[in-house]
Amino acid sequence: MPRPGFVLEVDRSTPPSLFWRGENFSLEKLPAGRSRVIYPPEPLPAIKDIDGAIRNALLNPIDQDPLPSLLFPGMKLTICFDDVSLPLPKMRRPDTRQRVIEAVLDMAADAGVEDVHLIAALGLHRRMHEYELRHALGDRIYDAFHPRGMLTQHDAEDPDNLAVIGETPHGEVLEINKRAADSDLVVYVNINSVPMDGGWKSITTGLASYRCLSAHHNGHTLQNTRSLSGHREHSALHQSIWRLGKVLRDHGPKLFQIETTLNTDMFPEQFSFIATREWEWSARERATYLATTKALKRTPIKLARKIFHGMEGPHQMTSIQAGETSAVHEITLEHVYRQQLVPVEGQTDILTMGIPFVCPYNPDGVMNPILVMCMGLGYLFNMYRNKPLVREGGVIIMTHPTYRDFNPVHHPSYIDFFEQVLPDTTDPVVMGQKWEKQFAEDEWFRHLYRTGNAYHGVHPFYAWYWGAHGQQWAGKVIIVGGDPATVRRLGFTPATTMDDAFEIASDVVGRAPTITHLHVPALLVADVS
Amino acid sequence: MSESGLAARLGTSQSLAMFFSPFLATRYLKPKRTFVSIITLISILGVALGVWAMIVVNSVFTGYGVRMKESILGVAPHLVAVSTCYVAGNRRGNAPEELVSDGPWDIGLDWRKEVAAARRIRSDAEATSRLPEKLAEFRKEARGELGAAGAPALASKTEDLRMAWVKDQLVEAGRARAASVGWPDAYAFTKALGEQALTETKGAVPVSIVRPSIIESSLAEPFPGWIRGFRMAEPVILSYARGLLKEFPGVPEGTVDVIPVDIVVAAIIAVAALGPEQAAPITQVASGSTNPLKYKVLVDNVRSWFTEHPLYDNEGQPIVVPEWQFPARGRVKEQLKRAKAVAERTERVLQSLPLRGKQASWAATLEEKKTEIDRAYQYVQLYGLYTECEAIYQVDRLLEMWAGLSPADQAAFNFLPQSVDWAHYVHEIHLPSIVQHSRAKTHSGKNRIDRPARLRKQILSPDRHVAAFDLENTLIASNVVESYSFLATRRLNVPERVRYVLRTLAEAPTLQAVDRKDRTDFLRFFYRRYEDAPVAQIAEDAPELLANIILAKSFPAGLRRVREHRALGHRTILITGAMDFAVEGLRPLFDEIVAATMSVRPDGTYSGNLSQVPPTGETRAQILADYCAAEGLKLEESIAYADSTSDLPMLECVGFPVAVNPETRLAAIARKRGWLVEHWDKASGAPVKPLPLGPLMSEKERRKVFQ
């Protein structure tokens, strides 16, 4: 039986805590008496018979007819799936998507459906490389569908391939992939790593046009998105998405939502020290930690990146549910919370977090400075229910090298964002008004998004908006170990060591602040009371 | 007059003539129709005007001319010629105010023979410079400096070098001749010959010669420190203040004969005012005999002033002036020569290295240092003699003239050498003035006007018309071999790839040699490899080049610059020797892409032959010029970005050339001409790929493709 997550009060005998530092780790001693460390629950056991569970979910959907009864010869069937941003790190083959889609395709074949189309629901993310598609779908599906043009990647800028479904009372236009809109049935295969994924968000972002996305992906909405992991009523983003979902349900194609959850067994056996609580480290884990950190320090950064991005997580499916979108999503959330929720009492003055080498926007790429901000203030800061872990005006301390590296193939617009927009402003609303249009409509970025493997020109803005709430909430953000010039350009404060960071933070939170460390990875949602 | 002439020609009698003339006049004056009379009037007016003009001209030539000559030359003509004290030549001791030919050291030179000899040397040098082996030498030097910049650019450079060589020869010959007959340099020597020529050819015109010594900034008129032209001591002083000249030869106790310009002018006016009878035939204006400025005193004064008011280097740091040891000229020359040789050798080594960007700029800095050494050497060569000259120029005539002046004239026209207080003059007048004129940096802190930023602003102005870009090493760090390798290996399996890589490596030296010789030949030769490539397959694989080669190796700042130009409404052109299909992915960045194209055979394969001359070298300049002409745009309002001297013709033909990551030669040229230099780098997080090969296809798919 896996142990639940818990909050450790740091005393004099507590060993130092593990922090990610990009492509490396460090152990940091937190002040005794006023610090606590939040540990995530241990990974839940995976489903034993995964294929059986998938079949069962498809045959017994929630608030929906069984999948086989929705399939008929001559129909247009479209299967959409989450892109390479999920899960992190990539899971060992076979991927959940492959298993589920193979099951769906089997049923479609039994029903005599011939017009089947697979669409990678990219939204404004980069197109997946061939090897990524093969990893997610398996060679069998790829070789069967891709050469015949039946496996495509969504293009939010293709005017010929988008259809308007309708409009919400708030004036938000729902415009999605035309093939999906024209289908008799759209099956969407989700991997729900965090509570904000899934539900109506799947199609209304993954298959939406730029125009449709810009209605809710903006600085203003994200500043008013006060909870990405908890209550939807506090999230302006989810409010908007649920309104669009209603339009989709009433006027769009018939939907069959499949959501799956994974346990948090994210790293291979040799990296077991990442997930183990420090005082429980075995001699072997201590040795591995030492060897790994020392070796990584001497490894060229590009090689270190290659090693980390090549890692495949052993995480496995803990639940699968299919059927009507809203109903399915509620059950998914229960499963996500069961794995990730940790009750925490009260807020803290300083929140510390280690930023890893990867975030949803740089699989097989570089964690550039903008993504460091997005990961820290957009993702980790937002992993709470009720209220943020850090009090308003408190300090957030992250550890990451924050090098000035960019992948020119995946993130060309990020480079220009860093060189042109950030020196001008770090305010999400100001940059939205002043710069966003220029990047979003840039012909070159559009070309790279549509034909290359680049994120959309506007994506760095979205990544930045993602941290808008955290940026507004925190009184100061400090990055330990980051390149000073780069950190300053992000509008943050650089510090060399954790002690320096606490010293700098004392300007804002006084000499004896309370400190809370978010022990990631292993994802967790802090239920702050 | 005309009437009588007419009568004589008609041969009629006087009475008839008297009668005939009015008859004829009335006959033609009386109008039959109105317009005839107008013509007549015009003719009469014309004739009258002509006659009037003739009378005036005639009288000027005969009558007034004589009278004017009388009035001008009648008042005793007097020519005041300005020469130099240094006509006295290299001598120690007193140099009196007399002609050299009248002095005891005359060696009987004939100025006519000297002129004839100089002319002969000129034509000899011209002839030598045109000898085949000499021309080959210039060509080689031009190629070394410019690289493969194309025939027209090389031709112009070669001719420049030839003319510079001829000039050097003449300077050397002049200096040698002057030294051989006892003068410090050709300047003083020719002045001495000039005095001789003037004395011989003056005829009846009385001549007075005024000989100033080294003229420096004015003492009082028109204002203290007035100076035009930096000739003698100024460049030496400034080089010293900038720390370039660490040593300058000279005798510390020797006299530097300096005289402020207003004293010289006043003396000239006085000589002219005295007239030919009263003025001395030769008047020297110098300070050495009455108010000598010792070399050491001058140097100490200069040093103390610059210690107090230092110049600043580009980093805003004050430059500390060195202490002079007063070495002999030979030693300084030897030191400089050695320094120059080292710099030259290092430069040659650097030029042969494949340097780019920042490192290439260092090489250019070295070249600048070399120029500085060169200049210092020239100064020592030219002016060293003047600091070693130990002649004392007598000013007896000058002092006599001064004594004869009324106090009012003395106040208005000060030419008394004793009136100069040297310490005051050097500290308060001369040095502040030359520092101000030199526009040297006299305040700490970095330069406020950032030159590259200013140039960039000019380039990114909406007034510009066209921005032309080279591709390789200007926008991407890749080349035609890489894109070919990618396409060629896209559908190969591992053993085939290994064989491909080995084969290409084996051919690399040949390819490199061809490329160095001529870019066009290289492209033709290399592109043969595309022979038999199926057009359809290339069309399918080429789009992958964008993400795999072009973008991965791109300079993001470069691509941003292209888009900045587009946003400003400039036309953007890519001119590249790459194949058109390989750069197709860059289409959205450019209004026009000029690339190599290949003919296609009827069976749908490439022929391996280029359908046109690939756009390289001077062809690029022509393409750009043609484009501008066709579109009604101006070349002088256009911008060109390139990385090597092979693009020199294109860079030179536009108004705003930009050297991007320049190789050593171009870096040196860009620095000399003040072009904007951009250092663009690859994105540091770019995926690493040791070999530019296409991604491996799964065996199954590969088999399917090759079934």
Chain B hits for A415, Cβ within 8 Å: 556, 560, 683
| Binary contact (A415, B588; C-beta < 8 A) | no
Chain A hits for B590, Cβ within 8 Å: none
- Nearest C-alpha of chain B: how many angstroms from A20? 20
Query: Can you state the percent helix, strand and coil of chain B, rounding each to 5?
Result: 60, 10, 30
Which of these, B231, B256, B212, B233, lies nearest to B430 by C-alpha position?
A: B233
* Per-residue model confidence (pLDDT) at position A317: 93
Chain B hits for A452, Cβ within 8 Å: 546-547, 551, 585
* Per-residue model confidence (pLDDT) at position B71: 63
Q: Is residue B608 pLDDT above 50, yes or no?
A: yes
Query: Are residue B583 and residue B466 in the same domain, yes or no?
Result: yes
User: Helix axis angle, B14-29 relative to B34-59, nearest 10°?
Assistant: 120
* Per-residue model confidence (pLDDT) at position B5: 46
* Rg of the Cα atoms in chain B: 38
| Binary contact (B685, A416; C-beta < 8 A) | no
Residues A412-431 have a mean pLDDT of 94
Supply B14's token pair. 């006087």
Residue B155 lies in a domain: no
Q: What is the mean pLDDT of chain A?
A: 91
Half-sphere exposure of B53 (CA within 13 A, CB side): 6
Among the candidates B28, B58, B73, a domain finishes at B73
- Confidence band (pLDDT; 50, 70, 90) for B3? very low
What's the CA gap between A452 and B1, in Å, rounded?
A: 100
Pairing of strands A17-22, A25-28: antiparallel
- Would you tell me how many other CB atoms lie within 10 Å of the CB of residue B693? 18
Which of these, A490, A487, A432, A434, lies nearest to A461 by C-alpha position?
A: A432
CB-based contacts of B377: which residues, under 8 Å, 6+ apart? B333, B336, B337, B340
Of B199 and B15, more confident = B199
Residue B485 lies in a domain: yes
B500-531 core/surface letters (b: 16 or more CB in 10 A; e: else) = beeebeeeeeeeeebbeebbbebbbebbebbe
Measured over the CA atoms of residue B5, residue B10, residue B11 and residue B17, the dihedral's sign is: negative
Helices (H) and strands (E) in chain A, counts: 21, 20
* Per-residue model confidence (pLDDT) at position A342: 92
- Nearest C-alpha of chain B: how many angstroms from A457? 13
Residue B523 lies in a domain: yes
What's the CA gap between B664 and B351, in Å, rounded?
A: 6
Q: Could you report the per-residue pLDDT of B135-173, keeping only the tens digit for each?
A: 999 998 888 877 777 788 889 889 999 999 999 999 889
CB-based contacts of B117: which residues, under 8 Å, 6+ apart? B177
B284, β-bridge pairs:
B211
Distances (CA, A) of A512 to A365, A390, A519: 39, 15, 21
What's the CA gap between A480 and B289, in Å, rounded?
A: 76
Beta-carbon pairs below 8 A across chains A and B: 74
Q: Are B546 and B565 in contact (CB under 8 A)?
A: no
Using CA coordinates, name the residue in chain A closest to B702: A143
What's the CA gap between B506 and B479, in Å, rounded?
A: 18
* Per-residue model confidence (pLDDT) at position B70: 62
By a Cβ cutoff of 8 Å, what residues of chain B touch chain A?
543, 546-548, 551-552, 554, 556-557, 559-560, 563, 585, 587-589, 682-688, 695, 698, 700-701
- Confidence band (pLDDT; 50, 70, 90) for B206? confident
Distances (CA, A) of B257 to A195, A327, B90: 92, 105, 14
Which of these, B258, B221, B227, B249, lies nearest to B85 by C-alpha position?
A: B258
Q: Could you report the per-residue pLDDT of B411-421, keeping only the tens digit for each?
A: 888 888 888 88
Distances (CA, A) of A398 to A22, A289, A510: 11, 20, 19
Residues of chain B with pLDDT > 70, as a percent, come to 90
- Confidence band (pLDDT; 50, 70, 90) for B30? low
A113: left (phi over 0), alpha (psi -120 to 50) or beta: beta
Q: Which of A139, A406, A448 sits opposite B683 (nearest CB)?
A: A406
Among the candidates B28, B46, B73, a domain finishes at B73
Q: Are A198 and A336 in contact (CB under 8 A)?
A: no
Of B204 and A403, more confident = A403
Using CA coordinates, name the residue in chain A closest to B590: A444
* Rg of the Cα atoms in chain A: 22
Q: What is the CATH number of domain A6-39+269-310+345-528?
A: 3.90.226.30
Query: Are residue B57 and residue B102 in the same domain, yes or no?
Result: no
Q: Could you report the per-residue pLDDT of A126-173, keeping only the tens digit for each?
A: 999 988 999 999 999 998 999 899 999 999 999 899 999 999 998 889
Query: Are residue B375 and residue B522 in the same domain, yes or no?
Result: no
B392, β-bridge pairs:
B94
Give the Cα-Cα-Cα angle B161, B163, B166 (nearest 5 degrees).
110
Range(s) within chain A of domains with CATH label 3.40.50.11440 = 50-262
What's the CA gap between A226 and A271, in Å, rounded?
A: 34
Supply B692's token pair. 């530019």
Query: Are residue B471 and residue B606 in the same domain, yes or no?
Result: yes
Query: Are residue B100 and residue B33 in the same domain, yes or no?
Result: no
Supply B241's token pair. 């203040």
Total structural domains in chain B? 3
Q: Are B354 and B218 in contact (CB under 8 A)?
A: no
CATH number assigned to the domain comprising residue B673? 3.40.50.1000
Chain B hits for A409, Cβ within 8 Å: 547-548, 551-552, 686-687
Q: Could you report the per-residue pLDDT of B368-417, keeping only the tens digit for each?
A: 778 778 877 877 777 777 777 778 888 888 888 888 888 888 888 888 88
Query: Are residue B524 and residue B583 in the same domain, yes or no?
Result: yes
What's the CA gap between A144 and B38, in Å, rounded?
A: 105
Query: Are residue B69 and residue B84 in the same domain, yes or no?
Result: no
Query: Are residue B16 and residue B87 in the same domain, yes or no?
Result: no
Supply B273's token pair. 């005012």
Hey, of A361, A444, A445, A455, which one would you mutate to test binding to chain B, going by the most B CBs within 10 A of its CB?
A: A444
Q: Does A448 touch chain B (CB under 8 A)?
A: yes
| Binary contact (A444, B557; C-beta < 8 A) | no
Q: Which of B556, B563, B588 sits opposite A408 (nearest CB)?
A: B556
Q: Are B314 and B328 in contact (CB under 8 A)?
A: no
Q: Is A520 helix (H, G, I), strand (E, B) or coil?
A: coil
- Nearest C-alpha of chain A: how many angstroms from B597? 23
Among the candidates B414, B438, B462, a domain finishes at B438
| Binary contact (A408, B557; C-beta < 8 A) | no
What's the CA gap between A60 and A324, in Å, rounded?
A: 11
- Nearest C-alpha of chain A: how many angstroms from B587? 9
CATH number assigned to the domain comprising residue B330? 3.40.50
Q: Is B22 exposed, middle or buried (0-12, 13-18, 19+ CB in 10 A)?
A: exposed
Pairing of strands B466-469, B258-260: unpaired
Supply B428's token pair. 């308060």
CB-based contacts of B181: which residues, under 8 Å, 6+ apart? B89, B107, B109, B189
pTM value is 0.78
Q: B356: part of which helix (H) or strand (E)?
A: none
| Binary contact (A408, B554; C-beta < 8 A) | yes
- Return the residue matching tokens 């000058």: B398
- Would you tell me how many other CB atoms lie within 10 Å of the CB of residue B392? 21
- Confidence band (pLDDT; 50, 70, 90) for A250? very high
What's the CA gap between A164 and B158, in Å, rounded?
A: 69
Q: Could you report the per-residue pLDDT of A474-516, keeping only the tens digit for each?
A: 999 999 999 999 999 999 999 999 999 999 999 999 999 999 9
- Confidence band (pLDDT; 50, 70, 90) for B10? very low
Q: Is A509 helix (H, G, I), strand (E, B) or coil?
A: helix
- Nearest C-alpha of chain A: how many angstroms from B588? 6
Q: Does A486 touch chain B (CB under 8 A)?
A: no
What's the CA gap between A459 and A463, in Å, rounded?
A: 6
Range(s) within chain A of domains with CATH label 3.90.226.30 = 6-39+269-310+345-528
Which of these, B579, B414, B558, B387, lies nearest to B482 by C-alpha position?
A: B579
A22, β-bridge pairs:
A356
Q: Does A223 touch chain B (CB under 8 A)?
A: no
* Per-residue model confidence (pLDDT) at position B9: 47
| Binary contact (B546, A130; C-beta < 8 A) | no
| Binary contact (A139, B543; C-beta < 8 A) | no
Query: Are residue B424 and residue B550 in the same domain, yes or no?
Result: no
Chain B hits for A139, Cβ within 8 Å: 698, 700
- Return the residue matching tokens 């207080």: B421
Residue B132 lies in a domain: no
* Per-residue model confidence (pLDDT) at position A400: 95
Q: Which of B552, B559, B588 sits opposite A409 (nearest CB)?
A: B552
B207, β-bridge pairs:
B79
Q: Is residue B696 pLDDT above 80, yes or no?
A: no
Q: What is the CATH number of domain A50-262?
A: 3.40.50.11440
Domain containing residue B12: 2-73
